[in-house]
Structure 1
């Protein structure tokens, strides 16, 4: 990753600034802090939640688990992923914040301003491979400018582009379960699935049946990410309607 950006700070002001500049109509949806995994705290978030963005600490345990899971998916496969999911391979260093935001907004039922940077990017990306989408992102200066402006708007001094940062963004969305086939007969499956979208992985990852995006994402994060962490530098944000 020769091309590197300044890391984004994980707070609602920064993510909403990025989203607004990219084209999200923030009067209808915005990012808000999720303060914990307890049901009472989750219940404070307006519904419907359309995406969950997580900033988490990278540890040796996580890296080992990540590589093992990616290898297992390559070897054994996983539950089919909805074909409309847009996933991008991360090829720009420290761009995981922008990757998480694009994954969240592109795979949610949100309103984007016509002709906005994100609306155009999604339209141009739909028929491209994840690698081609990466090249498009690398050569689209609008996103580099939006990322830089958002990074400068944080409450803390942003690290330099070349500084090693052991924190990473990932994203969770809800998607339909594709039709399955049994003995050559197509079987409709109306279940929703929890999908994790992380540009460092091999592709979208199915995380199981999803009946409530926020609750199911929080449960998965608590059970899977937290035990592997060596620090508590977690930040979870939900894309949801503005609080009344």
Structure 2
């Protein structure tokens, strides 16, 4: 599993956020320090931060990650195998229309080009125990309070129009170890977020370019997004598809939101 930090967004038109995205952001580098800085600027408590996950097979390396893990961001290449799977799975689904208190998870539809990093971050802190670490009255808290009662399309419009998100994203895009590309650049990686719902205890795959949140099955009490069951239902499913298809190099990276070590 690759661990180097890079800029992330899916390449090609097959999973473009909309037929003609109204806005584009500079792709974020998938870097724990960058992601943490962005969320803290918006109002995430210093009690949480992102961490690299260097291995899901080596118990000694996995032990370096604080637990419980609240959200897991998987970065992966958009291969033909993934495109085929995504199209087949989405073909039998209807567009998600959930909103408000009845939702198991809060999902955001992506309508901004090169914003998959931001979508992953929002999904990671809007759901599960991480939501309790968003500081009252902060930009993030205000955004979530406005967004939660709305239907997905209205949420997307609110996201597009929230200047605090745009400003924080722009500032974070200039950070990291690699040079920032142009806002409309196309790079070859994308990522999704896995969270555990506090409502039903299920593992949910969150990707703003899909038709809605994806229920990947129940997790037991005490199991988090880095537990063996969660990894089997989530990350390892991605790996198996690529391995079975003979997709070549498996350039997968992981970062996790958990307790701060500062």
Structure 1 window deviating more from structure 2 (226-235 vs 99-108): it is 226-235
Give the Cα separation in 2 of the matches to 1:136 and 1:36: 37
Which of residues 152, 156, 160 is equivalent to 1:130?
A: 152
Task: Work out whether 1:59 is the aligned partner of 2:79.
Answer: yes
TM-score (norm 1): 0.85
User: How far 1:49 moved relative to its partner?
Assistant: 1.0
Contact 2:42 2:139 in 1 (8 A): yes
Cross-structure match for 1:218: 231
Aligned to 1:19: 39
Pick from 6, 29, 33: which aligns with 2:52? 33
2:171 counterpart of 1:145: no
**Number of equivalences:** 224
* Unmatched segments (≥5 aa) in structure 2: 1-20, 96-101
Residues 238 and 200 of structure 1, relative CA distance in 2, 3 Å threshold: same
In structure 2, what is the Cα distance between the partners aligned to 1:125 and 1:230? 40
Please report how far the alpha carbon of residue 197 of structure 1 lies from its aligned counterpart in structure 2 after TM superposition: 0.6
How high is the TM-score relative to the length of structure 2?
Answer: 0.80
* RMSD, aligned CA: 1.9
Question: Where does the alignment leave 5 or more consecutive residues of structure 1 unmatched?
Answer: 76-81, 179-191
Measure, in 1, the Cα distance between the counterparts of 2:189 and 2:165.
21
After the TM superposition, which segments of 4 or more aligned residues of structure 1 sit over 4 Å from their partners? none
- CA 1:222 to 1:115, structure 2 compared with 1: closer, same or farther past 3 Å? closer
Q: How far 1:221 sits from its partner (Å)?
A: 4.1
